[in-house]
Structure 1
Amino acid sequence: MSAPDRAEVIGMLSGFGDRATGEVGETLDSLELTWLIAQVEQRYGVELELSDEVFSGMATVTGAIDTLARVLRDHG
């Protein structure tokens, strides 16, 4: 299963608060991250069980992309 790329992740995050993609910053707060995980689970039909350590690695868009790639690869 292929992971979302940067454009897809930013697109998902822009749905939180109905923002333009250009308004999505690099740093993610906990609500944005929760939203992103829910969007990924829905889009990919998976349930992600993320440890606190894995979750903490997703504090930025880049970190989220890298972590999602690893988690989805291991999941699928």
Structure 2
Amino acid sequence: MPTLPERDDLVAMLATFGDRDPAAVPEQLDSLELAWLVHQVEQLYAVRLDLDDDALLRMVTVTDALAVLRDAVAGQAPTPASGPPHA
């Protein structure tokens, strides 16, 4: 089971969007921040998240995103590393 994201992890990821201080990350998420966050979680936790519209609509705040993403990551197996196939 992969390690689950914590709130500080999400805030740190969001801070890299726009190169801002973690203290400057607002609780409310806009659509670009949400897309960035999902991408970052997929990269960091080596998972492919297939979030449906309902899940995405629930992710309005950092707190909401944390709950949805923790559930999504917990339900995923790590994806294999990309690269050329071995002979």
Moved over 6 A (4+): none
Gaps of 5+ in 2: 78-87
TM-score by length of 1: 0.95
Cα distance in 1, alignment partners of residues 52 and 39 from structure 2: 15
Number of the residue aligned with 1:41: 42
Residues 6-17 of structure 1 aligned to structure 2 (within 5 Å): 6-17=7-18
Larger Rg belongs to? 2
CA drift of 1:69 comes to 0.9
Number of the residue aligned with 2:69: 68
Q: Per chain length, whose mean CA-contact separation is higher, i.e. which structure has more relative contact order (CA < 8 Å, sep 6+)? A: 1
Cα distance in 1, alignment partners of residues 8 and 37 from structure 2: 13
| Paired residue type of 1:74 | G
Structure with greater helix share of residues: 1
CA drift of 1:73 comes to 1.1
TM-score by length of 2: 0.83
**Secondary structure of the corresponding residue to residue 65 of structure 2:** helix
Number of equivalent positions: 76
Q: Deviations over 1:28-56 (max 9, x none)?
A: 00000000001001101111101000011
8 Å CA contact retained: 1:2, 1:69 = no
CA drift of 1:2 comes to 2.4
Gaps of 5+ in 1: none
